[in-house]
Amino acid sequence: MPIEIGLAAKASAVVNSADTARAMRTGDVEVLATPRLVALCEEACCLALDGALPLEQTTVGVRVQLDHLAPLQVGSTVTTEATLERVEGRRLGFTVSASDSAGLVAAGRMTRVVVDRAAFLAKAR
C-alpha cells in the first residue's frame, strides 16, 4: 500500500489516572494531559500509515501544532483522528483532531518524516 493523500485512522482511549496532568507532572489537575493527547494523535498518524511503508522504513514525528480546547476527566473516552493531507518527499503532513461524546477536544497538525530504521537508530545518542 503506497503512501497516498487521504490515508486516515482513529485511535481511542479511556482516560485513566496515569493520563492526567497531575500524574504526568504537567499540571495539578486530574484531567487528560496535553502530552497524552499528543501521543494519541501520533498513534492515529502511525495507524494511518500501517502497511504503507517497507519494513526497513518508519516515520518519526518532527512537528506538532495542537490546540487543546476542552478538559476531559478520568473515565472519559477520547477518540483521535489523523488524515494525511500532504506528501512532500519524505515529509508527511497530517491534520489531527480529538473528540469525546460532547464534541471537539483538540485540533491541529502533525508532521512526520519517513526514515530508514537502521540509519536513524545509528544516529541516536
Q: Is residue 80 part of a domain?
A: yes
Mean pLDDT of the chain: 97
Q: Is residue 3 part of a domain?
A: no
Q: Is residue 63 part of a domain?
A: yes
Query: Domain holding 34: CATH number?
Result: 3.10.129.10
Q: Is residue 2 part of a domain?
A: no
- In eight-state DSSP terms, residue 70 is S
Q: Is residue 44 part of a domain?
A: yes
Q: What is the pLDDT of residue 2?
A: 73
* Domain range for 117: 8-123
The closest of 107, 81, 84 to 94, measured between CA atoms, is 84
- Residue % of the chain over a pLDDT of 90: 98
The C-alpha R_g of the chain, in whole angstroms, comes to 15
Residues of the chain with pLDDT under 70: 1
Domain count, the chain: 1
Q: How many residues can be counted in the chain?
A: 125
